[in-house]
Amino acid sequence: MTGPSFDLTLFGLSILLPVLLTILLVARAFSLMFREPRSVEWKDFPEYDALALRMQVRLPPPKRWGVARIGGVARTNAIRGQVIFDSKSFFKLTPEERLAITAHELGHIKARHSLFAALILFCGTAVAIILALEGEALLPTIAWFAFFFLMVYYRRRGEYQADLAAARFVQPTSMISALLRFQSPTRKYERFLGGLTHPPTGTRIERLRGSSLHVESRLGLVPRRRLQR
């Protein structure tokens, strides 16, 4: 009787941490996807509709663009096809910077970054459960964290892709100036979470400046030898 009981206990302990972490992360993700912010106000922005059309991103009407106090600058709801702007910080930006931030968020929706990040996390949980069923003690947790950091890498790579979308459809300089305005979150937990899912602002700006040089080169504004340095 002690053998099966021990195996069951070992299974429970080995899978407890991965499952709890997955529940916490998925609950947070789904709250962002399905729960509207308090006192959200839905507005029409024809210039952003035109940008979404150029980027070939379909946003179902009528709730496309929301304004609410969300504590950041903007965020997307990939399931509903919505972009929520912060009622305070977003409207401190210039019109060109707001357009660049919108292109960045639309880039996330088009590439379905949130969906694929969730799939990576679910795969990690499935692998952890299989390893726990095999009687492994530490491997389930190690495997889960391996998939977790793969998801973090994917999310950070997605930020670069969304930045390049803004550079392609608006202007690299507009995205750079918007990043410079909000490069230092004041709260510790915002710095920690932002560091996990977002690359350093300086690195993002350097990549955007590189894309800006290539655009200017195609227009004949920058010598090509400058790009080869």
pLDDT in tens, 138-189: 888 888 889 999 999 999 999 999 999 999 999 889 999 999 887 654 444 3
pLDDT digits (tens, 9 = 90+) for 52-107: 999 999 888 778 899 988 877 888 887 778 899 998 889 889 999 999 999 999 99
The pLDDT of residue 5 is above 70: no
Residue 206 has pLDDT above 80, yes or no: yes
Please give the average per-residue pLDDT across 109-113, as a whole number.
91
Q: Which two tokens stand for residue 201?
A: 């602002």
pLDDT at 216: 39
Residue ranges covered by each domain of the chain: 2-31+94-227
On the question of pLDDT at 193 being above 70, the answer is no
Alpha helices in the chain (DSSP H): 2-34, 46-54, 95-111, 113-133, 139-169, 172-181, 188-197, 201-218, 224-227
Coil, helix or strand at residue 83: strand
Reported as half-sphere exposure (CB side, CA atoms, 13 A), residue 209 has a value of 10
Burial of 56 (0-12, 13-18, 19+ CB in 10 A): exposed
What single-letter amino acid sits at 151? M
Confidence of residue 226 (pLDDT cuts 50, 70, 90): very low
Band (pLDDT 50/70/90 cuts) for residue 7 is low
